[in-house]
Structure 1
Amino acid sequence: MKTVIVLLLIVVIGALASAGLSMLRKPGEGQPAERRDRMARALALRVGLSIALFLFVLLGWWLGWISPGGVPAGR
């Protein structure tokens, strides 16, 4: 379960990095419309994966696969 969550987090960060790189590229490296579309697709993928990750964590908690650990009270 933890492995799936970590993998989804890595893919979300990868999609965010892809959008950032397409935004920061020089203007000569492709048409502006292509860059804008690539960035929009990467950000849409990130949002979709983030929602899927949230729902997966919620489902895992609901089914008892994961449980909240929390931070112990101060000593």
Structure 2
Amino acid sequence: MLTMSYLVALAFLAIIASLGAALFFMLRGGQAEAPDKSKRMARALAMRVGFSVLLFVCMLVSWKMGWVHPTGIAAGQ
């Protein structure tokens, strides 16, 4: 399905964006804001994990519903 590929691409972009946000908060300078920086970095990484799990569940449900089909080398070849 064409919309499914858009959903997967959007999920990958969200994963990359949250990983970039975590990197930004980790590298941002200043010791005065260290506790806040740590919280924001942890939240961004937690969002990345959540997006990854959501993408996996969506792909599993799509496969079970028959919306996507596995491709590649057939088993035993």
Give the share of equivalent positions with the same residue, in percent: 38
Residues of 1 paired with 2:18 and 2:57: CA distance? 18
* Structure with bigger RCO (C-alpha 8 Å, 6+ apart): 1
Residues of 2 paired with 1:33 and 1:45: CA distance? 18
Other-structure match for 1:11: 14
Unpaired stretches in structure 1, ≥5 consecutive residues = none
Q: Please, what is the CA RMSD of the aligned residues?
A: 1.4
Q: TM-score normalised to the size of structure 2?
A: 0.85
Other-structure match for 1:32: 34
After TM superposition, where is structure 1 displaced by more than 3 Å over at least 4 residues in a row?
none
**Paired AA for residue 24 in structure 1:** L
Q: TM-score normalised to the size of structure 1?
A: 0.88
Report how many residues are paired: 71
